[in-house]
């Protein structure tokens, strides 16, 4: 996810990533920017500044049901942000386990 990589350059998809709570706040700000991009129905070119489409098929599927996928992604960001904020109240780190 580009928001994580932008704020936490040491992020590795194949490693255990321990991320402190202050860094998570910055990541959530980046995700909020993505949410704004989605809410404004930005062209796919702009969306690619924030999201990786690993396969061309992923991008095509996203575009085929664009309205639904935008709403779902915004909901995902909202739910994830809420969860992170709850967790950083009681812990100093949230980790991401790589593949």
Domain span including residue 22: 2-97
pTM, to two decimals:
0.85
User: How many angstroms separate the CA atoms of 60 and 21, rounded?
Assistant: 35
Q: Give the up-direction half-sphere exposure of residue 80: CA atoms within 13 A in the CB hemisphere.
A: 16
User: How many angstroms separate the CA atoms of 4 and 76, rounded?
Assistant: 15
Per-residue pLDDT tens over the stretch 33-92: 999 988 887 677 677 788 878 777 888 898 899 889 999 999 999 999 999 999 999 999
Within 10 Å of residue 45's Cβ, how many Cβ atoms?
Answer: 7
Total structural domains within the chain: 1
The count of residues in the chain is 99
């Amino acid at each position: 996810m580009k928001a994580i990589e932008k704020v936490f350059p040491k992020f590795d998809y194949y490693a255990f990533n321990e991320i402190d709570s202050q860094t998570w706040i910055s990541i959530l700000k980046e995700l909020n920017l993505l949410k704004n991009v989605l809410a404004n129905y930005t062209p796919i070119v702009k969306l690619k500044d924030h999201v990786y489409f690993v396969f061309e098929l992923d991008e095509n599927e996203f575009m085929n049901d664009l309205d639904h996928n935008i709403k779902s992604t915004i909901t995902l960001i909202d739910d994830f942000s809420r969860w992170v904020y709850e967790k950083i109240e009681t812990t100093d780190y949230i980790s991401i386990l790589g593949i």
